């Protein structure tokens, strides 16, 4: 692979920014400094007027996932290509064992699928059932395969939901192994109750979805999970925080020294629950995900939490379906496949809403889109930094360029976008993934299989390094 010189941009990391050139060699950052000479045969990227950022890390994706009687629309090839087109160069995807399936067996299925990835990837493991075999296989997952984070569910009664007793056992097992537990925090018992009540009352359309999952249920479950983690002395990563109550609970816990890391999604910062009232079923159903989009007032609380440090990371929870797939729930909202896309749009939306509107500095943007996830999942400084020797994962963002986001022009493999028609200012014009120039001003050059697996180390007993 030829060297690359990224010339004339403003290099931004979580720690600061400066005018500098960047040389990438053999997949790594080889030099960062002013006025660097182009190595012989180097490819030149003109970054004049642009910001040069660590490539995005999306810590929350679902590619190729079989779920709710279907399979999500993006596989590891299309999903990671879309990621590259939006400046994301690392993803952490969730392996989802079927009920009773040994997690090591599920891992090997995911490894087969992920062999086509075009950007680097690591895995979390969904704890989709609990038992002796699951607990036993967690050890080789962590120590031999580098799967060092486990997601537990307090929601989806009759499916993924675990009892509090199982969660306690699972958190303790994570502590033993130095693995990081993650939590989907919604009260599944109350959701099941509200769903049956709503359907019995004839509320069967998509508007029933948020009604069955009010924000208090996320608040309660977040407090419960954080309390369990605090008492059991294990850190916790709270995925897809959407409700003010949840963000506040995380902020309070962090203030008293609990190692809890909260993640939110760009959608929760900008899209509100009115989408579920849309007269077009495809639009309303297209927004069905869990937790749901919230009433507008929650957005201010989430922004405030990002600014204050109560929330530390952003992911996408990329789990996209076509309109036809969502129509499985035309008769009853509980059958609408849960999930929305966004792997391609995260950096654009967050830059536009965060940096352009003065809510985030470019440095905080880097912390929220890559550096903090790298620390939380033990990939720092190989990922999320532009230090010499780090992987040459780079996004060059032109702050003056605009784009209108749309399903018609996206690379995500679906005919729907939650961002349809939204204009953003600040567009990723080049992406380098371990030194490969995978996105060159509209030209997607992602090669199937060029992404590498990222085994992650456990944290050890003190969990140092977590943000
Ligand atoms: O609705 C969602 N979020 N689907 C993906 C699975 C999950 O809970 O993250
Ligand atoms: Zn979840
Ligand atoms: Zn998810």
What sign does the CA torsion over 192, 198, 199, 205 have? negative
For 6, phi then psi, to 5°, come to -100, 110
Report the alpha-carbon angle 406-412-417, nearest 5: 35
Ligand 1: which of 338, 340, 341 to mutate, judged by most atoms within 8 Å of the beta carbon? 338
Nearest residue CA, atom 5 of ligand 1?
Answer: 339
Ligand 1 site, residue 319, Cβ cutoff 6 A: yes
Tell me how far apart the alpha carbons of residues 339 and 171 are, in angstroms, rounded to a whole number: 26
| Per-residue pLDDT, 464 | 62
The pLDDT, as a whole number, for residue 251 is 98
Q: Which ligand is nearest to the CA of 287?
A: 1
Q: 288 C-alpha vs ligand 2 centroid, how far in Å?
A: 13
Q: Which of 67, 94, 288, 290 to mutate to test the pocket of ligand 1 (most atoms within 8 A of CB)?
A: 290
- CA of 240 relative to ligand 3 center, distance in Å: 7
Give the model's pLDDT for residue 462: 55
Q: Tokens in use for 35? A: 């006025």
What pLDDT, on a 0 to 100 scale, did the predictor assign at position 463?
Answer: 63
Residue that the structure tokens 């003190």 belong to: 462
- What spacing in Å lies between the alpha carbon of 49 and ligand 1's midpoint? 38
Tokens of residue 196, six digits: 């049956």
Output the CA 319–ligand 3 centroid distance in Å: 7
184 Cβ closer than 6 Å to some ligand 1 atom: yes
Cα–Cα distance, 8 to 4 (Å, whole number): 13
30-39 long-range contacts, CB within 8 A, separation 24+: 30/3, 30/388, 31/388, 32/386, 32/388, 36/5, 36/7, 38/5, 38/7, 39/3, 39/5
62 within ligand 1 shell (Cβ under 6 A):
yes
Counting from 1 in the atom list of ligand 1, the atom nearest the Cα of 290 is: 1
Q: Give the per-residue pLDDT at 459.
A: 87
Residue 128 beta carbon below 6 angstroms from any ligand 1 atom: no
Task: List phi, psi (to 5°) of 304.
Answer: -60, -40
Ligand 1 in contact with 317 (CB < 6 A)? yes
Q: Residue ranges of the chain with pLDDT lower than 70?
A: 460-465
CA of 240 to the centre of ligand 2 (A): 7
* Ligand 1 lined by 289 (C-beta under 6 Å): yes
Question: Which residue shows structure tokens 């006025």?
Answer: 35
Q: Tell me the CA–centroid distance for residue 228 and ligand 2, in Å.
A: 18
Q: How far is the CA of 40 from the centre of ligand 3 (A)?
A: 45
CA atoms within 13 A on the CB side of 65: 25
- As a whole number of angstroms, the distance between CA 141 and CA 103 comes to 8
Q: How far is CA 90 from CA 109, 373, 430, in A?
A: 20, 10, 15
**339: CA distance to ligand 3 center in Å?**
8
Is the CB of residue 124 below 6 angstroms from any atom belonging to ligand 1?
no
The structure's pTM equals: 0.98
What is the Cα–Cα distance from 144 to 147, expressed in whole angstroms?
Answer: 8
- Please indicate whether residue 65, judged by its CB atom, sits closer than 6 Å to ligand 1: no
Measured from the CA of 160, which atom of ligand 1 is nearest? 8
The ligand minimizing its distance to the Cα of 319 is: 1
Q: Output the residue whose Cα is nearest ligand 1's atom 4.
A: 339
Tell me what pLDDT residue 446 has.
85
- What H or E segment, with its residue span, contains residue 191? helix 188-200
The answer to whether residues 339 and 67 touch, using CB atoms and an 8 Å cutoff, is yes
Cα(291) to ligand 1 centroid in Å equals 8
Q: Could you give the CA distance from residue 460 to residue 92 in angstroms, rounded to a whole number?
A: 20
Distance 338 CA to ligand 1 centre (A): 6
Report which ligand 1 atom has the smallest distance to the Cα of 153.
Answer: 8
What's the rounded Cα separation, in Å, for the pair 180 and 119?
23
Tell the residue number behind the tokens 């924000």, with chain if given: 215
Burial (0-12, 13-18, 19+ Cβ within 10 Å), 112? exposed
| Residue 410 structure tokens | 């996206």
């Amino acid at each position: 692979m030829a060297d690359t010189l990224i010339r004339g941009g403003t290099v931004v990391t979580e720690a600061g920014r400066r005018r500098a050139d960047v040389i990438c060699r053999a997949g790594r950052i080889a030099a960062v400094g002013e006025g660097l000479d182009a190595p012989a045969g180097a490819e030149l990227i003109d970054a004049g007027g642009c910001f040069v950022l660590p490539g995005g890390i999306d810590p929350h994706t679902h590619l190729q996932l079989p779920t709710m009687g279907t399979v999500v629309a993006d596989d590891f090839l299309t999903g990671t290509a879309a990621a590259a087109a939006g400046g994301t160069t690392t993803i952490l995807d969730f392996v989802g064992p079927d009920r009773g399936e040994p997690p090591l067996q599920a891992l090997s299925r995911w490894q087969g699928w992920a062999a086509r990835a075009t950007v680097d990837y690591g895995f979390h493991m969904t704890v989709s059932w609990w038992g002796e075999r699951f607990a036993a296989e967690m050890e080789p997952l962590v120590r031999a395969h580098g799967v060092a984070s486990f997601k537990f569910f307090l929601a989806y009664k009759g499916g993924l939901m675990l009892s509090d007793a199982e969660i306690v056992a699972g958190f303790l097992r994570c502590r033993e192994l130095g693995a990081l537990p993650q939590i989907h925090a919604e009260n599944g018992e109350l959701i099941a109750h509200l769903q049956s009540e709503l359907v019995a009352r004839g509320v069967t359309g998509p508007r029933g979805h948020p009604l069955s999952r009010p924000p208090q249920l996320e608040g309660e479950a977040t407090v419960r999970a954080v309390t369990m983690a605090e008492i059991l002395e294990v850190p916790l990563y709270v995925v897809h925080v959407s409700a003010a109550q949840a963000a506040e609970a995380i902020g309070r816990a962090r203030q008293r020294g609990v190692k809890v890391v909260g993640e939110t999604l760009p959608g929760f910062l900008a899209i509100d629950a009115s989408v579920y009232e849309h007269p077009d079923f495809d639009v309303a159903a297209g927004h069905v995900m869990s937790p749901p989009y919230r009433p507008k007032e929650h957005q201010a609380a989430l922004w405030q939490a990002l600014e204050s440090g109560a929330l530390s990371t952003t992911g996408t929870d990329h789990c996209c379906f076509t309109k036809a797939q969502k129509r499985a729930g035309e008769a009853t909202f509980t059958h609408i496949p849960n999930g929305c896309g966004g792997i391609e749009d995260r950096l654009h939306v967050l830059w536009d809403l965060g940096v352009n509107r003065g809510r985030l500095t470019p440095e905080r943007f880097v912390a929220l889109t890559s550096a903090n996830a790298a620390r939380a999942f033990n990939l720092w400084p190989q990922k999320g930094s532009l230090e010499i020797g780090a992987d040459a994962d780079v996004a060059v963002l032109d702050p003056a360029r605009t784009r209108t986001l749309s399903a018609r022009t996206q690379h995500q493999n679906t005919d729907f976008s939650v961002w349809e028609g939204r204009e953003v200012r600040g567009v990723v014009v080049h992406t380098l993934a371990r030194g490969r120039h995978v996105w060159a001003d509209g030209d997607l050059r992602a090669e199937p299989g060029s992404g590498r697996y990222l085994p992650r180390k456990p944290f050890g007993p003190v969990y140092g390094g977590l943000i």
